[in-house]
């Protein structure tokens, strides 16, 4: 290369630099990186030339005149650096091509370009874009979606204030393209289950009940409920729950709020409005008073363009994302319960509670007793060594059971062989089991479900014993609470599961959970449980919230013959509503066991008495 340069006219070299510099100016705007590659190439060439002059000075004289090369000015930096071509070869080829210029006349072969740098995309001027805005009544989450929509289409849309918009998203449109469901709610320890629309409108306008709503919701609800009275507390959205609980006068006289369905949390109770609630499996949004349509207003062509391009949410309520999980208390199909099944029919105990369990996507039963082919005809006043007739499995299947809790302390009463046989019967029927198994390893395995995109896990253990009820490395039974369960809970949570934990704890015949039970259940909550429920409780017990975990210390008996106390006849079915991988709400069905076997739905007076008692025992 040095020999070639020595034999060239230096005037040609000057023209070569000028052509190269002009080419550098042409490509400079694409990226500052390419400019620096160009600069490096030129610097290397100049140093090489000077070195040649110094090393070869004795061999020949200096030229009489050296043309001054024009050095390019530094290009302005881009606010967003454009991506380089996908292959490094193209970049290097460009740089080499710039350095050699038309050096083919010098006998040098240039490296061909293999890619080109794309032309930067500059957003269109604001004056040529459609100005998009949202009404103040549109929910915040929907506003964020609209902003993202505009940001992704900067050549077509710009964000604007509502009074200057070409397109306005508003709930006052006659042609909605999205539907927002609002829920009427109160603090969880609330006794009333619903209001009529007329009662809500009166409370909204007159302050007959305390109401706390977010600023955004207040604007949205005004066309539906009227002008809010001075007693309505309108607060920032992030303060609604705290203010709502603070405003709660009593369990029987609730403070109310209205909020978008997707913003519900388990510490709120959803109230029915005109008999409808968005938590119900048969919910019909078109007939619900708090259904709000979101439309877009503007010039017809612009509206049509927006509606055709909109790829954001079309609402905040999607049945295809909802999973309902029903958790129950003790099932023991023995003694007087079994005797009544023989007399009245195998399916008779489930006639009233069955529809509640069948409405759930995943229904849980804690079956404490194994089936046995030699189980004798039930004695209504028999002892405490239990077995169940094989035919009683029909009741468990009829009520829609999906998962069987095997943490019970009577599982091995009729021998371990019958425990193995019972597990096989459940599996043959298509039911999952957990909390017990053929051996200790199987007993520790979770029951896993995936439904509507929600990942659900069930785990449990038995701390009460007796030791004979526990599984071993080689024999069946319930999983003992050996300290490993919190680790399992945390692992499942980290895998994306909502973890439902059931515990066979000490049996306390009282509404309030004693301190030792509170502490043990909190340990499971701290490990990451979504909910912790007491499968051991023959007596209905209270609730708690701990570190975002919903705790029910005991739902009470579901199918069992203890009729001697009111608390052992009272029972809950807790339906957990999961949406988009999050526990949104918990519904409580309350029943009263009759005839030693059959829970029926409570009367309003019975329900009110139980809820007041339970909420007081829970410290609310």
Q: What is the pLDDT of residues 591-603, one digit of tens each?
A: 999 999 999 999 9
Q: What is the pLDDT of residue 124?
A: 56
Phi first, then psi, for residue 569 (nearest 5°) are: -90, -25
CB 96 within 8 A of CB 111: yes
The b/e string for 589-601 (b: 16+ C-beta within 10 A; e otherwise) is: bbbbbebbbbbee
Closest CA to 582 of 342, 226, 353, 323: 323
The mean pLDDT value for 608-618 works out to 98
CB 292 within 8 A of CB 221: no
Q: What is the pLDDT of residues 236-270, one digit of tens each?
A: 988 999 999 999 988 888 899 999 999 999 999 99
Closest CA to 306 of 168, 171, 179, 170: 168
Q: What is the pLDDT of residues 196-205, one digit of tens each?
A: 999 999 999 9
In 280-409, which ranges are E strands? 291-298, 322-327, 330-331, 362-367, 403-405
Whole-number average pLDDT of the chain: 85
349 confidence band (pLDDT: 50, 70, 90): very high
Contacts 24+ apart (CB under 8 A), 219-226: 219/135, 219/136, 219/137, 220/137, 220/138, 220/139, 220/171, 220/180, 220/182, 220/292, 221/182, 221/258, 221/290, 223/171, 223/172, 224/289, 224/290, 224/292, 225/200, 225/201, 226/201
- Please tell me the distance from the alpha carbon of residue 464 to that of residue 330, in angstroms, as a whole number: 14
3-class DSSP assignment, residue 93? helix
- Please tell me the distance from the alpha carbon of residue 382 to that of residue 334, in angstroms, as a whole number: 9
366 confidence band (pLDDT: 50, 70, 90): very high
The mean pLDDT value for 42-61 works out to 40
Lowest mean pLDDT among 70-74, 456-460, 527-531: 70-74
Q: What is the pLDDT of residue 127?
A: 63
- Please tell me the distance from the alpha carbon of residue 69 to that of residue 534, in angstroms, as a whole number: 87
- Say which DSSP state 505 is in: -
CA dihedral 235, 236, 238, 243 (to 10 degrees): -10
The more confidently predicted of residues 35 and 510 is 510
In the chain, the domains with their CATH numbers are: 2-106 (no CATH), 126-317 (3.40.190.10), 320-617 (3.60.21.10)
Q: What is the pLDDT of residue 129?
A: 94
Q: What is the pLDDT of residue 466?
A: 95
Cis peptide before 257 (omega within 30 of 0): no
Q: What tokens does 189 get?
A: 């320890």
29 confidence band (pLDDT: 50, 70, 90): very low
Q: What is the pLDDT of residue 126?
A: 57
Q: What is the pLDDT of residue 551?
A: 98
CB 517 within 8 A of CB 506: yes
- Please tell me the distance from the alpha carbon of residue 181 to that of residue 321, in angstroms, as a whole number: 15
| Residue 37 CB-density burial (10 A; 0-12 exposed, 13-18 middle, 19+ buried) | middle
Q: What is the pLDDT of residue 140?
A: 85
Q: What is the pLDDT of residue 123?
A: 59
CA 286 to chain centre: 25
Q: What is the pLDDT of residue 48?
A: 40
The mean pLDDT value for 310-326 works out to 96
The neighbour count for residue 399, using CB atoms within 10 Å, is 25
The mean pLDDT value for 47-52 works out to 37
CA 104 to chain centre: 65
Q: What is the pLDDT of residue 50?
A: 35
- Please tell me the distance from the alpha carbon of residue 329 to that of residue 368, in angstroms, as a whole number: 10
Closest CA to 213 of 275, 159, 290, 150: 290
- Please tell me the distance from the alpha carbon of residue 199 to that of residue 194, in angstroms, as a whole number: 10
The more confidently predicted of residues 211 and 75 is 211
The mean pLDDT value for 375-397 works out to 97
- Please tell me the distance from the alpha carbon of residue 411 to that of residue 476, in angstroms, as a whole number: 9
Whole-angstrom CA distances from 15 to 27, 69, 102, 106 are 19, 8, 10, 13
pTM assigned to the model: 0.79
Q: What tokens does 164 get?
A: 């200057």
3-class DSSP assignment, residue 283? coil
- Please tell me the distance from the alpha carbon of residue 330 to that of residue 348, in angstroms, as a whole number: 17
128 confidence band (pLDDT: 50, 70, 90): confident
Q: What is the pLDDT of residue 237?
A: 87
The b/e string for 87-118 (b: 16+ C-beta within 10 A; e otherwise) is: eeebbebbbbbbbbbebeebeeeeeebeeebe
% of residues, the chain, pLDDT over 70: 80
Contacts of 252 (CB under 8 A, 6+ apart): 191, 192, 608, 612
Greatest Cα-to-Cα distance within the chain, rounded to the nearest angstrom: 126
3-class DSSP assignment, residue 613? helix
Closest CA to 185 of 580, 577, 617: 577
The mean pLDDT value for 311-315 works out to 94
Contacts of 233 (CB under 8 A, 6+ apart): 210, 211, 212, 213, 243, 247
11 confidence band (pLDDT: 50, 70, 90): very low
The mean pLDDT value for 276-284 works out to 94
CB 477 within 8 A of CB 436: yes
pLDDT exceeds 80 at position 309: yes
The mean pLDDT value for 110-133 works out to 62
């Amino acid at each position: 290369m040095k020999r070639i340069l020595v034999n060239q006219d230096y005037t040609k070299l000057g023209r070569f630099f000028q052509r190269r510099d002009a080419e550098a100016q042409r490509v400079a705007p694409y990226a500052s990186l390419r400019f620096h590659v160009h600069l490096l190439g030129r610097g290397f060439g100049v140093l090489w030339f000077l070195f040649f002059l110094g090393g070869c000075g004795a061999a020949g004289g200096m030229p009489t005149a050296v043309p001054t090369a024009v050095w390019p000015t530094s290009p302005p930096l881009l606010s967003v650096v454009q991506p380089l071509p996908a292959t490094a070869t193209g970049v290097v080829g460009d740089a080499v091509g710039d350095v050699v210029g038309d050096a083919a006349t010098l006998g040098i072969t240039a490296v061909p370009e293999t890619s080109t740098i794309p032309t930067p995309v500059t957003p269109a001027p604001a004056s040529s874009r459609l100005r998009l805005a949202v009404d103040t009544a549109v929910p915040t989450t929907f506003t964020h979606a609209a902003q993202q929509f505009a940001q992704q289409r900067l050549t077509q849309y710009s964000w604007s204030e509502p009074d200057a918009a070409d397109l306005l998203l508003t709930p006052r449109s006659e042609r909605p393209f999205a539907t927002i469901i609002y829920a009427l709610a109160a603090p969880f320890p609330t006794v009333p289950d619903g209001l009529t629309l007329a009662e809500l409108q009166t409370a909204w306008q007159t302050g007959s009940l305390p109401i706390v709503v977010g600023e955004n919701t207040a604007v949205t609800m005004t066309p539906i409920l009227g002008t809010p009275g001075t007693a309505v507390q309108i607060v920032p959205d992030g303060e609604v729950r705290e203010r709502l609980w603070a405003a709660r006068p009593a369990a029987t006289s609730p403070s109310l709020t209205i909020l978008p369905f997707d913003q519900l949390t388990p510490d709120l109770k959803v109230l029915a409005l005109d008999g409808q609630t968005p938590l119900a499996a048969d919910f019909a949004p078109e007939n619900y008073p708090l259904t709000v349509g979101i439309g877009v207003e503007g010039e017809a062509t612009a509206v049509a363009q927006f509606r055709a391009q909109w790829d954001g949410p079309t609402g905040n309520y999607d049945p295809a994302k909802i999973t309902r999980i029903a958790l129950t208390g003790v099932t023991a199909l023995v003694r007087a319960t079994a005797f009544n099944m023989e007399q009245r029919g195998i399916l008779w105990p489930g006639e009233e509670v069955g529809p509640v369990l069948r409405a759930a996507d995943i229904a849980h039963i804690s079956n404490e007793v194994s089936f046995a082919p030699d189980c004798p005809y039930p004695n209504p006043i028999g002892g405490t060594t239990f077995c169940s007739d094989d035919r009683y499995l029909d009741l468990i299947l009829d009520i829609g059971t999906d998962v069987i809790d095997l943490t019970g302390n009577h599982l091995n009463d009729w021998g371990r062989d019958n425990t193995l046989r019972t597990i096989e019967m459940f599996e043959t029927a298509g039911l999952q089991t957990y909390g017990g198994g053929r051996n200790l390893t199987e007993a520790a395995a979770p029951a896993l479900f995936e439904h509507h995109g929600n990942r659900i896990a069930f785990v449990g253990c038995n701390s009460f014993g007796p030791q004979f009820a526990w599984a071993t490395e080689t024999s069946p039974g319930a999983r003992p609470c050996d300290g490993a369960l919190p680790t399992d809970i945390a692992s499942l949570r980290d895998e994306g599961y909502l973890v439902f934990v059931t515990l066979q704890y000490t049996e306390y015949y009282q509404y309030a959970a004693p301190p030792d039970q509170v502490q043990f259940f909190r340990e499971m909550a701290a490990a990451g449980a979504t909910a912790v429920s007491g499968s051991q409780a023959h007596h209905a017990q209270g609730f708690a919230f701990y570190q975002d975990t919903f705790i029910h210390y005991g739902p009470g008996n579901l199918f069992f013959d203890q009729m001697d106390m009111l608390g052992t006849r009272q029972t809950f079915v807790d339906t957990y509503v999961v949406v988009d991988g999050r526990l949104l709400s918990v519904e409580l069905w309350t029943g009263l066991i009759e005839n030693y076997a059959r829970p029926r739905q409570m009367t309003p007076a019975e329900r009110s008495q139980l809820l007041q008692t339970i909420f007081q025992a829970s410290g609310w």
